[in-house]
């Protein structure tokens, strides 16, 4: 896996319309980890991609009534199988963080890369997800000079009154140990 023109090679690309230009295209200085499953607790379907591409049907599941019109995206989704899907080029602003703040800086979408882990806050993530996440973070840090092992945070840390993901089931120590090897 490599990054060419801000897109991963050897991964599936499903371009989302939900992105915009970064105010400073050279400011890629934070990685934000999220989790998502649609419907909640269901894995391996196409609903996440449909949500990120404004194609989610309200009729597909009762829980989609409140979210089907959201215009959201992430740069990356790492499925429970380890498959990686990229929706937005890293040089653009994906719409993943919402109202957010990190170390005194607001609007984290402006300077972050959003990575969604297919999962739920109370269900352990898979070994292959940690392996893919580790490889991806190392690659991002090698490509974008402002990123490093200390510029990784959870959605819960940048929007603590609104969000709790990636949740208690995410093992930050495991990620840090893997990144340090």
The closest of 122, 42, 30, 32 to 79, measured between CA atoms, is: 42
Per-residue pLDDT at 76: 98
Residues designated as active site: 116
Confirm whether 2 is domain-assigned: no
Name every residue whose Cβ is closer than 8 Å to that of residue 180 and which is 6 or more positions away in sequence. Answer: 149
Confirm whether 56 is domain-assigned: yes
Domain with 171, as residue range(s), is 14-179
Instruction: Give the domain CATH number at 35.
Output: 3.40.80.10
Mean pLDDT of 112-136: 97
Per-residue pLDDT at 71: 98
Number of domains in the chain: 1
Confirm whether 6 is domain-assigned: no
What pTM does this model have?
A: 0.97
Q: Work out whether the CA dihedral 172, 175, 180, 181 comes out positive or negative.
A: positive
Provide the percentage of residues in the chain whose pLDDT is more than 90. 99
Confirm whether 168 is domain-assigned: yes
């Amino acid at each position: 896996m490599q990054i060419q023109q801000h897109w991963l090679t050897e991964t599936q690309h499903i371009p989302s319309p939900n992105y915009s230009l970064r105010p400073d295209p050279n400011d890629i200085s934070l990685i934000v980890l999220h989790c998502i499953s649609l419907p909640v607790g269901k894995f391996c379907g196409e609903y996440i991609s449909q949500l990120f591409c404004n194609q989610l049907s309200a009729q597909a599941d009762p829980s989609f009534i409140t979210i089907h019109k959201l215009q959201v995206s992430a740069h990356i989704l790492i499925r429970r199988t380890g498959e990686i899907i990229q929706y937005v080029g890293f040089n653009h602003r994906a719409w993943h963080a919402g109202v957010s703040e990190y170390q005194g800086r607001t609007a984290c979408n402006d300077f972050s890369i959003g990575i969604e882990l297919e999962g739920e806050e109370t269900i352990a993530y898979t070994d292959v997800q940690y392996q893919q996440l580790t490889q991806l973070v190392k690659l991002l840090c090698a490509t974008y000079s402002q990123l490093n092992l200390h510029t990784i945070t959870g959605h819960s840390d940048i929007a603590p009154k609104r969000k709790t993901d990636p949740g208690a089931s995410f093992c930050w120590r495991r990620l840090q140990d893997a990144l340090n090897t």
